[in-house]
Amino acid sequence: MSIGESIEKRAAEFSERYKAVFNEISKVIVGHNEIVHGVLTCLFCGGHTLLEGVPGLGKTLLIRTLSQTLDLDFSRIQFTPDLMPADILGTNLIVEDPDGRRRFEFQKGPIFAQIVLADEINRATPKTQSAMLETMQEKRITAGGQTFDLEPPFFVMATQNPIEQEGTYPLPEAQLDRFFFKLVVGYSSREDLNTIIDRTTKQSFVTPEKVMDGHEIVKWQSLVREVILAPHVQDYIARLVLATHPDGPYATPETNQYLRWGASPRGAQTMALASKLSALLSGRYNVSFEDIRRVFTPAMRHRVILNFEAEAEGVSPDTVLKGILKGVPEKADDAKVA
């Protein structure tokens, strides 16, 4: 078998296994296909997901269903204003040996899992939210003078309510930047609502089957990184990120008018990995410009900061990002990249 045939076979196998997970989730989750694809993109790229939407749209149900579909350790943390960092990470407890001697022993917290649901994460104080920073970026925990590596794959899915502001604390930029995608969950359609009523108000309930374990997920995460990203396509990613920086050489009119701060290099890394996965699902082993455009908005909407004018006029990050996509050409005007 040639190298090309081997690559094609692995890409086809990944696409088939991806669809198996997606189909099991679809047994429970009605509609929201783009949201499900976004969550699975984060999973297979090794990133974390922030789901935003009003209560009752199925955000928590989606995460719980994903945990039932994957053979991984699952933990749920309900974020509240009185939650402390030790409630998440763990703490040292005094234990007594059989011979009567006492010693400190670290009691692991709920963050020691492979899939972690951070429910209503913006209800916790900034002090507690900061406990997640090292965990999400380094996938390890430092507590009680010890460092613990988390078992791969480690995946955080956080939810937040965009309309109820009382008793909430906005996520700091450093926290937001550690999320791979921010996905906005919208309302269901008429047809989907009828299906939801049928599925949830009758005696029979559908339970998804486990179709994938952690070792297989890690294998596919490695495959995603092998997808080819040509220099001129990669430069398109770089120019899109630079176009979010106000007063920069690549800034668009929308950027200068409505943005206060642009995206960090994590935004470029996110687009590169997500577009590679998009290419695999399209049956290709190389990234196209269309793959990048497809993942641009969910990868960037939480990484740009609006200025006062945008907030006063009710301009959303998505609106600004659409203008950036239109204003940045696929091919660079200069010849710096072959």
Q: Would you say residue 208 lies in a domain? A: no
Are both 101 and 231 inside the same structural domain?
A: no
Kindly state whether residue 217 falls inside one of the protein's structural domains: no
* Percentage of the chain lying above the pLDDT 70 cut: 95
- Cross-strand pairs, 108: 90
Alpha helix segments (H runs only) across the chain: 3-26, 33-45, 59-69, 85-89, 126-129, 133-138, 173-176, 190-200, 214-226, 231-242, 253-258, 265-281, 289-300, 308-313, 317-327
- In this structure, are 131 and 277 located in the same domain? no
- Do residues 191 and 241 share a domain? no
Residues 149 and 275 in one domain: no
Give the range among 44-48, 64-68, 129-133 with minimum mean pLDDT. Answer: 129-133
Q: With 70 as the cut, is the pLDDT of residue 1 above it?
A: no
User: Is 85 part of any domain?
Assistant: yes
Same domain, 275 and 326: yes
**Position 337 confidence tier, pLDDT thresholds 50, 70, 90:** very low
Domain contains 136: yes
Look at residues 68, 97, 214 and name the one whose alpha carbon lies nearest to residue 155.
214
Please determine, for residue 320, whether its predicted confidence score (pLDDT) is greater than 60. yes
153 and 267 in a common domain: no
- The answer to whether residue 183 is domain-embedded is yes
Give me the CATH number covering residue 44: 3.40.50.300
Both 196 and 232 in a single domain? no
What's the count of helices (H) and strands (E) in the chain, helices before strands? 15, 13
Establish if 207 belongs to a structural domain.
no
**Cis ω before 153 (30° cut-off from 0):** yes
Confidence of residue 194 (pLDDT cuts 50, 70, 90): confident
Give the span between the Cα atoms of 167 and 17, in whole angstroms. Answer: 42
CATH number, domain at 295? 1.10.8.80
Supply the range of the domain harboring residue 321: 227-338
Burial of 215 by CB count in 10 Å (0-12 exposed, 13-18 middle, 19+ buried)?
Answer: exposed
Same domain, residue pair 195 and 334? no
Judge whether 206 lies within some domain: no
Q: Quick one: 263 and 326 in the same domain?
A: yes
- Examine residue 247 and state whether it is found in any structural domain, yes or no: yes
Neighbours of 143 (CB within 10 A): 21
Q: Encoding tokens for residue 169?
A: 């604390």
Give the list of residues 6+ apart from residue 214 with CB closer than 8 angstroms, or none: 70, 71, 72, 114, 151, 152, 153
Same domain? For 233 and 155 the reply is no
Backbone angles phi and psi of 116, in degrees to 5: -120, 125
Give pLDDT, residue 2: 47
Do 194 and 232 belong together in one domain?
Answer: no
Same domain, 197 and 254: no
Q: Please give the average per-residue pLDDT across 180-189, as a whole number.
A: 88
Number of domains the chain is built from = 2
Q: Is the pLDDT of residue 220 over 90?
A: yes
Enter the pTM of the model.
0.88
